[in-house]
Amino acid sequence: MRRIILSTESGADIPGDLAEKYDIQVVPMHIIMDGKDYLDGDLPVQEIYDYYGRTKKIPSTTSTNAHEYQEFFTNIRGKFPDCIIVHIGYTSKASSSFQNAVIAVEEFEDIFLIDALNVTGGLAAIVLYAAELLEKEQNIAPEHLVEKIEEIVPKSRLAFIPGSLEFLKAGGRVSNMASLIGTLLKIKPCIELKDGKLMSTKKYRGKMGGAAEKLLSDYLNHFNIDRKQLYFIYSVGLDERIMQRMDELAKESGFHNVRWIQAGGMISTHSGAGGFGVAGLEQ
């Protein structure tokens, strides 16, 4: 039986220990700062915020290009000869990365591409679901695995509050960002994935601690999330007291496992320091 290898982009923010555990291969996206191109994962997130503090400029990001994907898939085949690759990609509605992967695989056989229509913890939830399924059913047919993953894609739910509205505004990835203009300093918008697009939905007032609690409450009331696993996403700078409170609320809500995921450079460049999010899979 040929081995199946899972891959994704750095924008999934897969924790390193889990990537290692499941042999998940991660291709880096790019951060452009001060005219220099950095691979996401090589640049400490704090440097992004320090750069903004010095210059009041926000770095930009770019997708993984087709040539990089070709090298990436070639390297996977070098490490895992004769493997079948299932690539679960960053939403095509907010990045050209997935389209570049489509171009790259024209030169390969036995590579399956799945548009996860999600980012950060929402994408990670799908990838880790696939990894756990593959661990349990090691002889699963690739086509059946892909079918199971595609079934779970619309069930992955992500909502987050950015730490900085300036970063969110500059990122330009939120489809209805214009609706926030004029009240940027008074609210904390909830950003959700709608059909793969980042959309501002609810608006919370007050400090991050209270907003995070309201976000979690609204999220759990709206979505029937599987209690086996919940993911919390944070960007560098989130108050540890908020993190502790979220853990308490998750346990009170009946979640068996809670995993914190740190937003990497790609996501942090669009959300700013001190952001909070939640992701999980609907039952």
- With a cut of 80, say whether residue 263 has pLDDT above it: yes
User: Most distant CA pair in the chain: distance in Å?
Assistant: 59
Token duo for residue 113: 């591409």
Identify whether the C-beta of residue 85 lies closer than 8 Å to the C-beta of residue 122: no
- If you average pLDDT over every residue of the chain, what do you get? 92
Q: What pLDDT is stored for residue 40 in this prediction? A: 97
**pLDDT score at 185:** 54
Please give the helix or strand (H or E) that residue 51 lies within, else none. helix 45-55
pLDDT at 168: 67
At residue 180, the pLDDT reads 52
- At 206 the pLDDT is 87
- Give all domains of the chain, ordered by start, each with its CATH number: 4-30+62-153 (3.40.50.10440), 156-281 (3.30.1180.10)
Rounded Cα distance, 33 and 154, in Å: 34
